[in-house]
Amino acid sequence: MIRVWIETSSPVARAGFESLLAGNPGIELLDSAHHADVILCDRLPNGPEGAPLVVLSDEPLTALAIRRGVRAILPREASFDQISAALQAAAAGLIAMPIASAPVLLPVAETQGEIEALTPRELEAFEMLAEGYSNKQIAAKLQVSEHTAKFHVNSILSKLHAGTRTEAVMRGLRKGILKV
The confidence score (pLDDT) of residue 50 equals 83
Domains of the chain by residue range: 2-105, 120-174
Type of residue at 167: E
Which CATH homologous superfamily contains domain 2-105? Response regulator (3.40.50.2300)
Q: What is the chain's pLDDT, residue by residue, as a tens digit (180 residues)?
A: 999 999 998 999 999 999 999 988 899 999 999 999 999 999 888 877 789 999 998 887 787 888 889 999 998 889 999 999 999 999 999 998 877 776 666 655 454 557 788 999 999 999 999 999 999 999 999 999 999 999 999 999 999 988 899 999 998 988 888 876
Distance, CA of 133 to chain centre: 32
Are 169 and 118 in contact by the 8 Å Cβ rule? The answer is: no
CB atoms within 10 A of CB 84: 18
The runs of H, that is alpha helices, within the chain are 11-21, 63-67, 80-91, 102-105, 120-130, 135-142, 146-159, 165-174
CB-count exposure of residue 160 (10 Å: 0-12, 13-18, 19+):
buried
Question: 2-105 and 120-174: same fold?
Answer: no
User: Are the C-beta atoms of 73 and 40 separated by less than 8 Å?
Assistant: no
Distances (CA, A) of 36 to 13, 23, 28, 60: 19, 17, 9, 24
**Model pTM score:** 0.59
Architecture category of domain 120-174 in CATH: Orthogonal Bundle (1.10)
